[in-house]
A and B are shown apart, each in its own frame.
Chain A
Amino acid sequence: MALLEIENLRKSFRTPCGQLLPVVDVPGFRLNAGEQVALSGPSGTGKTTFLNLIAGILTGDSGRIVLDGQNMTTLSEPDRDRHRAAVIGYIFQTFNLLQGFTCLENVLLGMSFGPGADRVHARSLLDRVGLGDRLDYFPRQLSTGQQQRVAVARALANRPKLVLADEPTGNLDPTNAAQALALIRELCAEQGSALLLVSHDPAVLASFPRRESLATLNQASRTEVIL
């Protein structure tokens, strides 16, 4: 059974001059539970918008997103928030760690909105990503590679069914990028989480058995709109 099913998903934004610009127009997309898929696409093809629509952070103009049996497009905003916290782990290109919180607190916060903070699990995850001795460090006290590992631990802390990774290696050097990618894939496999990762890095894409091109999926991107 598909964990994620998308049908005729459309999203447009209004430009300052009032024009409606289509950004996402995906007729269909499926992702099975535990599956790991890389979504390629150059800048401006609506990758982040696509992930934000799946996460329920944005709402589409039309279409249907069914995630873990819930139609995200018909849920109220609080229910979408609840569903996102319970089912999705989100890894951002820029990590998006909360600067005023320690590594451990960042992970615990991620858990708080889902099933609840589990300090033992949070510690073991940070230990698993090699930061067991940095629990009380603030993000600014960590290297970029370490920050991304905290972000990975946070995204996986709730044992999500789906991990969305938006250019997770985009800000890392090749060595750290390879380590971070391996870590994400290992942890997702260990927890049985599906992974939908968007990237334009050929090395990253090459490591995935299933690769999709957002430029092909997304009919809107063919309109050559620069986002």
Chain B
Amino acid sequence: MILWLLVRRSLRQHLLSTVVTALSLALAGGLLMSVWVVKRQARATFTGQTGAWDAVLGARGAKLQLVLNALFHLEASPGNVAFSDFQTLSSNRLVALAVPIAVGDNYLGYRIVGTLTNLFTEAEAAPGRRFRLVAGGRWFEDGYREAVVGSFVAQRLGLKPGDTFKPYHGLNFNPKEQHEDEYVVTGILEPSNTPADRVLWIPLAGLQNMSGHAAATASDVSAVLVKLRSAVAGQQLDMLYNKQGDRLTFAWPLGTVLAQLFDKMGWFDQVLELVAYLVALVAAGSVLASIYNSLSARRRDLAILRALGARRILVFASIILEASSIAAFGMVLAWGLYALIMGAVSAVIRAQTGVVLDPWAWDPVLIIAPLALVVLGALAGVLPAIKAYSNPVAENLAPES
């Protein structure tokens, strides 16, 4: 109790430096937690998005580019796949479901993907979760200029069933590249927290035959999304397309392919982590400097306490507790900062990829990082505590007569 009283009063007496130091520790804690959680959740969530599909078939090229393009609607398509290749794969007994997609157009910067309606009716948006339409809508019909709009796009562009739009050529919005074809929105997808939310879906034939597209490749598709009957099927198709064949790329298993993305981004994580560690070190240094400097003004108070009977170890402990308390206060702020950072980061990731991170999801780092920083704060208090411990009593009481 007496320790707490001493610490509380000391913190109150040096409120400004306490708050500034706690804020710097909060910044370190918030950054550390955010970097770790974003890294882990992004990896888990991105790889989890592939759960509805087992593989992607595309033109010969990099598997990662193929997967990013076909499943996450990022990057450019590595090339086209002949419709006959889709049909061959589709009829393979190893394949449970194959759905072609075609890309190449956009509407105000949001990608338009041509596909077949069985993508919505037979496949899942995410494992265990079917595609669903907001009430009042219906799926588009093949052969008609109709569209189903992802929830994020609908929200951003204010689209609703009955609205019409004219696509723009290319993956990036260029007002001069508008097609003549007009599409009617027939339905809005319920939010699925997947990349499908960021896409305008139209019939495959619609995209293939869009005005201005090359007639020679009109029947081609950009990629084929594949659901396999078994894991062994993946190995066999991998052998067929990647090792024996040289025209197409069979991206499988998707988790391994996507892991390459995070491996490539590993250096960025490390830089962020390093920054967070440096901020933590600077913050610990500021705890040390703040308490150490305040000791000059507190030498007399410490001497008075000792003269009243306080033992050295109590003085030592009070400084360590003070440093730990500043760090603990900082960690309370760090959780708030973490929530802000995660809110902002998840909004950006959602806008860019459609993938939704959960800022409130439990992660051990949310406890480990704050605890580690409180320990670091306590360690930063050791030097000032030693100084306080060895504060000469008689010299710092009233001047000798």
Residues of chain A whose beta carbon lies under 8 Å from any beta carbon of chain B: 41, 43-49, 52, 55, 57-58, 77-78, 81-82, 84-86, 90, 92-94, 96-101, 105, 109-110, 112-114, 117, 154, 166-167, 198, 227
Contact = CB atoms under 8 A, between A and B. Distances in A.
Interface string B286-314: 00000000000000110011111111110
Interface stretch (B129-137, B195-203, B229-237, B393-401): B393-401
A180 to B, nearest CB: 16
Nearest to B6: A109
B300 A100 contact: no
Q: How large is the interface on B (under 10, 10 to 19, 20 to 34, 35 or more residues)?
A: 20 to 34
Given A82-B309, A112-B2, A43 B401 contact: yes
Contacts of A47: 401
A198 B310 CA distance: 24
Contacts of A43: 401
A81 B309 contact: yes
14 contacts: A44-B401, A48-B398, A52-B393, A57-B394, A82-B311, A90-B307, A93-B401, A96-B304, A98-B9, A98-B305, A100-B13, A110-B308, A113-B308, A113-B309
B305 A109 contact: yes
A93 B397 CA distance: 10
Given A52-B393, A86-B309, A100-B13, 19 more contacts: A44-B401, A48-B398, A48-B401, A52-B397, A57-B307, A58-B393, A78-B311, A82-B311, A84-B307, A90-B308, A92-B307, A93-B401, A94-B398, A96-B397, A109-B2, A109-B305, A110-B308, A113-B309, A114-B309
Contacts of A44: 401
A119 to B, nearest CB: 12
B394 to A, nearest CB: 5
B242 interface: no
B398 to A, nearest CB: 4
B310 A113 contact: yes
B12 interface: yes
A97 B308 CA distance: 11
Contacts of B5: 101, 105, 109
A58 B394 contact: yes
The 10 closest A-B CB pairs, nearest first, are A85-B309, A113-B309, A94-B398, A100-B9, A48-B400, A112-B2, A100-B13, A96-B304, A81-B311, A52-B394
B164 interface: no
Given A98-B305, A100-B12, A110-B308, A227 B401 contact: yes
A12 B393 CA distance: 17
Contacts of B398: 48, 92-94, 96, 166
Nearest to B396: A96
Contacts of B9: 98, 100-101, 105
B178 interface: no
Given A109-B2, A112-B2, A81 B306 contact: yes
Contact of A109 (B308, B397, B401): B308
B117 interface: no
Nearest to A97: B304
B401 A85 contact: no
A85 B306 CA distance: 9
